Chains A and B, each alone.
Chain A
Amino acid sequence: MELPVLNDAPAAKGGCSTSSCGSTDNQMDSLPDSIREKVQNHPCYSEDAHHYFARMHVAVAPACNIQCHYCNRKYDCSNESRPGVVSEVLTPDQAVKKTMAVAATIPQMTVLGIAGPGDPLANPERTFETFRRLSEEAPDIKLCVSTNGLALPDSVEELSKHNIDHVTITINCVDPEIGAKIYPWIFWNNKRIKGKKGAKILIEQQQKGLEMLIAKGILVKVNSVMIPGVNDQHLAEVSKIVKSKGAFLHNVMPLISEPEHGTFYGVMGQRGPTPDELQDLQDSCSGDMNMMRHCRQCRADAVGLLGEDRGDEFTLDKIEEMEIDYSAAMEKRKVIHGAIQAEMASKRLEKAQKAQQIKEEPKLTTRPVLMAVATSGQGVINMHFGHAKEFLIYEASPDGVRFISHRKADQYCGGDSTCGDGESVLQLTIRALAGCEAVLCSKVGYEPWEMLEAAGIAPNGEHAMEPIEEAVMAVYKQMAAAGKLDEKPEAVRASAA
């Protein structure tokens, strides 16, 4: 039994207030069936699927043809990954082997992405050789590619030949004035072109590529990096334009910028958005567009399900030794995928029924609350607080429970036990949970318990193994009954009013 998860802001329209009656993927309800079918089991695009399925990335195409101010080219493409991460560059042959090894070992792996470091279409031969071979040798794996868009129009024809039905374009602006503040230069027609002129060409290529993909029937997702003071006001317009052209999802990601990344923004002190600012923008765009809130800005070479990384099991020397019988693996994968799909279908049905019930219950009038959840997948609370590398943030309100975002526990930290300013991992984790009033996990240790309480975040280990939305709603009702939701917390979110 699960409560509805509302991905859209609680609708003020009359009638059914949960306009799509609570299915988790109601962000997709406005999509045509053909598209919905394509995305419903995609871990990046479907909120409930991302509890069950996984994707992986390989880095085969490290060159890039533009510069973004948030990217330090020593590391991976910041458009798709967190800054400061370095992936091992593989040859197309190694990439094919690794992908098949992972798919045989982790049957939940359904999507392979090529996303950098660099721009996959700036190195088209390496990217396309990988896709060509995988389309033939592992036809049950979906392929996706992310690009800055500059070389996209030239690649559409080739892309349409493979098993590729998802392309992600990072579009940060449609105005060259703004573009010049994000992209210092591009490499175009054998020249480096700087400033507004370069930005204008990039924008034109992105838009042209988007239109060409749509015309070919290829799904397009748009990513934008939210840069306060640069494009934050502008992204609602970007959302509108890309949607009108047929992009099916718009994913706004926060700028992550620290001086030690050595990027222009990092060094010049450009800050990233606060979780509140990000959520406000996502809320204001969601009226316009299907927003993807569950993007994890995953590590480009991460392998595994939610919150885990099994990359160490698939290093090059280990893959070398593996014997993979892919046709046997494919049989096994088919059975497991079928079982997962059946489970997802029954959960979706339950949710729809529960949503109906909830509409009939007397409505609370309390304010919305943000809660953090530690999970390793399956849609249940099953992770120890101290083991969680990331948290899922949900908002509970009288209208139900909706998924808001992921927050990395160590987003601001290089992963050492302490950072430069002497904060412990625990302190950083608690900082990452700012704005949440409760954290639900399978267990919490004594030390974190005290620190969480001191930070105004109620630790809660009472709902281990329960479905997330149901547990979040139970805690919300408890808080309401205890009168905790009558007075406002220090900072009330404007958009949550």
Chain B
Amino acid sequence: MAVKIIESCVNCYACEPVCPSKAIYEAKPHFLVNSKKCTECEGDFPVYQCASICPIEGAILNSLGEEINPPGSLTGIPPERMAEAMAEMQGH
């Protein structure tokens, strides 16, 4: 049972100090979770600490591979709107 950090992580360091199990470490190209150490915060906190401070939607997955913070849940930007803006940027 462990969470996972994926490539959308922006290396902001926020999750590393808040993990009660010291499971998170700096790595290239992005931070990673040591799945042997991660306790999913069981016994320490009722919610995943890493996913409660992570600013990036979708960067941390639960043990089922689901996004703990789905699109729109943190920024408040509707996913369609984000997709449009991204498409526009690619056009440049």
Contacts and interface: CB of A to CB of B under 8 A. Distances in A.
Interface of A: 62-65, 67, 69, 73-74, 89, 117-118, 122-123, 184-185, 187, 190-192, 259-260, 262, 264, 266-268, 420
A118 B76 contact: no
B81 A73 contact: no
A123 B12 CA distance: 12
B52 A190 contact: yes
Q: Which of B45, B56, B77, B88 has the most CB of A within 10 A?
A: B77
Contacts of A266: 85
B85 A123 contact: no
A117 B12 CA distance: 8
Contacts of A63: 12-14, 16-17, 53
Given A73-B56, A268-B81, A62 B13 contact: yes
Nearest to B47: A191
A264 B76 contact: yes
Contacts of A191: 47, 52
B92 A420 contact: yes
Interface of B: 10, 12-14, 16-18, 45, 47, 49, 52-53, 55-56, 74-77, 81-82, 85, 88-89, 92
A89 B56 CA distance: 19
Contacts of A267: 77, 81-82, 85
The 6 closest A-B pairs by CB, nearest first: A420-B92, A63-B14, A187-B53, A192-B52, A62-B13, A73-B55
22 contacts: A62-B12, A62-B13, A63-B17, A63-B53, A64-B12, A65-B53, A67-B75, A73-B55, A74-B10, A89-B13, A118-B12, A118-B13, A122-B14, A184-B75, A190-B18, A190-B45, A192-B53, A264-B75, A264-B77, A267-B81, A268-B77, A268-B81
B56 to A, nearest CB: 7
A73 B12 contact: yes
Nearest to B89: A260
B35 to A, nearest CB: 22
Contacts of A187: 14, 18, 52-53
A259 B81 CA distance: 11
Contacts of A62: 12-14
B89 A259 contact: yes
A63 B75 CA distance: 17
A262 B85 contact: yes
Contacts of B92: 260, 420
Nearest to A420: B92
Contacts of A268: 77, 81
A190 B89 CA distance: 36
Contacts of B88: 259
A194 to B, nearest CB: 9
A136 B81 CA distance: 51
B77 A73 contact: no
Contacts of A123: 13, 17
Contacts of B13: 62-63, 89, 118, 123
B45 to A, nearest CB: 5
A259 B75 CA distance: 14
A120 to B, nearest CB: 12
Contacts of B18: 187, 190
Nearest to B49: A190
Given A259-B85, A262-B85, A420-B92, 14 more contacts: A63-B14, A63-B16, A67-B74, A69-B76, A73-B10, A117-B12, A118-B14, A184-B75, A184-B76, A190-B47, A191-B52, A192-B52, A192-B53, A260-B89
